[in-house]
Amino acid sequence: MADPYNSGTPSPPALRFDDSMVTTAFELPGYRVARNLGVVRSITVRSRSIVGNFLGGIQTIFGGNITIYTELCEQAREETYRDMVKHARTLGANAIIGMRYDATDVMTGLTEVLCYGTAVVVEPSR
């Protein structure tokens, strides 16, 4: 099934925006919101493999950062973030404000990562 939010080409007014145009704040210094395009989001569901669980279990014995899980979480966040940005671009946004992450265990070994924010068109402040 095709994902309607992450396919196609950006609308003509869309500008390529980099990570500096995505913020957890509700405003971007030096810019004003010209149009609010609504909520954009992306969801990724990741599972840990049997090998990953085994290696993670061994790392927990020694304590500290459980790198195998840290890497899995970071990959899921990055993938979800990039898909949210694609969603915003398809709407013609050049920025995202109020960006947030959320993560939930769907079931044992299965984690959902949600990334969402408000897609906007911003213009330099006068």
3 is a domain residue = no
Cα–Cα distance measured from residue 93 to residue 16, given in angstroms and rounded to the nearest whole number? 9
Torsion of CA 60, 66, 69, 74, to 10 degrees: 160
Backbone angles phi, psi at 56, to 5 degrees: -65, -40
Does residue 24 lie in a domain region?
yes
Q: Would you say 44 and 83 are in contact if contact means Cβ atoms under 8 Å apart?
A: yes
Question: What pLDDT score does 18 carry?
Answer: 82
pLDDT tens, position by position, 7-61 = 555 444 445 678 899 999 999 999 999 999 999 999 998 776 555 555 555 656 6
Domain with 119, as residue range(s), is 19-124
Asked whether residue 52 is domain-assigned, the answer is: yes
In a domain, 14, yes or no: no
Least confident of 60-64, 74-78, 122-126: 60-64
With a threshold of 0.85, does the pTM exceed it? no
Q: pLDDT digit string (tens) for 65-82?
A: 666 677 878 889 999 999
Query: pLDDT tens for residues 74-111?
Result: 889 999 999 999 999 999 999 999 999 998 887 777 78
